Amino acid sequence: MTRLRAALIGCGRIGIKKHIEAFAANSDKIELVTVCDIVKEKAERAADEYKKRCGLWVVGSTKDKKTVSAQRTTYNQQRILKPQVITDYSELLDKDIDFVTIATESGNHYRIAMDFLSARKHVLVEKPMALSTDHMDEMISLAKEKHLKLGVCFQNRFNPPIQELRKKIESGAFGKIFNATARILWNRNKDYYKQSSWRGTWAMDGGTLMNQCSHNIDLLQWTLGGDIEEIYAVTKNFNHKYIEAEDFGAAILKFKNGSVGIIEGTANVYPRNLEETLSVFGESGTVIIGGLAVNKIQTWRFPGEDSHPFMNLPDPETVYGNGHITLFADFANSIVHDKKPYITGEDGKKAVEIILGIYKSVKEKRPVKFPIEFSTEEMIGFKF
């Protein structure tokens, strides 16, 4: 089978950890031909990491992927070349590649995605896909106009407990879903913000709701479904005076279908990450999925069911979980078979629009009606 040719743009924390892991795990379907970072050493490190990891994965096998047989390793090493290293992504625009993944700071996603879509490349972009409703709309319409795939990395949708919940929602097992709560109780300290100066700024990021909480906000809206009617929110910067944006947020979301969503997100939990939990309450079902990062079923109640085999799943190594591997495979599949990726641009927009609605509500000190037009840049200079 011919492999798709891909490039990674941005080789920082998530790029080197999760994109490289996912490219290596899918090296039977995707050839990572180029890695790009404005800091050359980071791109070099990512290229080396990819080569190293490819030695650990068995091309073409879905079973027992960590087995390193001498024969297979030799085969891998013949087929998998070290990716080319570049520092300026514009060199790639007229090159023979099928798609890029974008893992740069959030405030750059829009510009880079638009450049690659304009150059007729499919784009898989990290969350949040952009920081303004206008930018997200432009990305979605350019992808549509050029018949290209635009996917967004909300990889937690692939967590096995979340997939189990999804089956119950789609089968109607909950009856009417009344309300759901997304809680993200984590810790981000000064070192984290000092590592990358864009974090916590309105121009390039947003606060904990945009950066840490957007996954669970996505799961909340996916679970309750449909359009938002109105949002009311309070945010604070309790404990991170050296960043511009919030480190705590609480919001109530009224959906047009009558259900209510509650969000509680914080980066202040002493002394370390505690939990990321999604609780769903319906007429004939109650589900709570918790653990470090929505990876463990805690409560599972439906008529005749009072537990689930996924109640004792271990916490993942990091809060990023393992969903990027499946997400990359799905995105490649969507290109090869010309179908929608599991998480489209339209899907990716929903959580960001909710977070922008929260910011707008906080700025205007009142509930805001949806749909909205807003951007994190409109928060510059905001005083908590």
Ligand X SMILES: NC(=O)c1ccc[n+]([C@@H]2O[C@H](COP(=O)([O-])OP(=O)(O)OC[C@H]3O[C@@H](n4cnc5c(N)ncnc54)[C@H](O)[C@@H]3O)[C@@H](O)[C@H]2O)c1
> Which positions lie near ligand X, rule CB under 6 A?
9-15, 36-39, 42, 89, 103-106, 108, 126-127, 153, 155, 196, 211, 320
- String of b and e for 148-173 (b: at least 16 CB within 10 Å)? bbbbbbbbbbbbebbebbeebbeeeb
Query: CA–CA separation, 120 vs 94, rounded Å?
Result: 9
> With respect to ligand X, which residue has the nearer C-beta, 58 or 351?
351
CA dihedral 21, 22, 24, 25 (to 10 degrees): 110
> With respect to ligand X, which residue has the nearer C-beta, 196 or 268?
196
Q: Cβ of residue 47: shortest distance to ligand X, in angstroms?
A: 13
> With respect to ligand X, which residue has the nearer C-beta, 11 or 162?
11
Query: CA–CA separation, 45 vs 36, rounded Å?
Result: 11
> With respect to ligand X, which residue has the nearer C-beta, 15 or 341?
15
Query: CA–CA separation, 210 vs 372, rounded Å?
Result: 16
Element (H, E) at 211: helix 208-211
Q: Cβ of residue 301: shortest distance to ligand X, in angstroms?
A: 29
> With respect to ligand X, which residue has the nearer C-beta, 103 or 355?
103
> With respect to ligand X, which residue has the nearer C-beta, 10 or 282?
10
Asked if residues 238 and 248 have their Cβ atoms less than 8 Å apart, the reply is yes
Q: Cβ of residue 364: shortest distance to ligand X, in angstroms?
A: 26
| C-alpha dist (Å) from residue 1 to 10, 29, 120, 121, 167 | 28, 8, 22, 20, 32
Q: Cβ of residue 56: shortest distance to ligand X, in angstroms?
A: 22
Q: What is the DSSP track for 243-260? A: SSS-SEEEEEEEETTS-E
Q: Cβ of residue 103: shortest distance to ligand X, in angstroms?
A: 5
CB under 8 Å to 173, separation ≥6 — which residues?
Answer: 284, 285, 302
Query: CA–CA separation, 363 vs 366, rounded Å?
Result: 8
Q: Cβ of residue 360: shortest distance to ligand X, in angstroms?
A: 20
CA-closest candidate to residue 293, choices 190, 122, 154: 154
> With respect to ligand X, which residue has the nearer C-beta, 10 or 290?
10
> With respect to ligand X, which residue has the nearer C-beta, 18 or 296?
18
Asked if residues 273 and 319 have their Cβ atoms less than 8 Å apart, the reply is yes
- String of b and e for 58-92 (b: at least 16 CB within 10 Å)? bbeeeeeeeeeeeebbeebeeebeebbbbeebeeb
| C-alpha dist (Å) from residue 109 to 114, 117, 151 | 8, 12, 12
CA-closest candidate to residue 22, choices 354, 323, 380, 334: 323
Query: CA–CA separation, 300 vs 289, rounded Å?
Result: 9
> With respect to ligand X, which residue has the nearer C-beta, 15 or 249?
15
Query: CA–CA separation, 105 vs 230, rounded Å?
Result: 29
> With respect to ligand X, which residue has the nearer C-beta, 103 or 287?
103
Q: Cβ of residue 292: shortest distance to ligand X, in angstroms?
A: 13
Q: Cβ of residue 178: shortest distance to ligand X, in angstroms?
A: 29
Q: Cβ of residue 25: shortest distance to ligand X, in angstroms?
A: 16
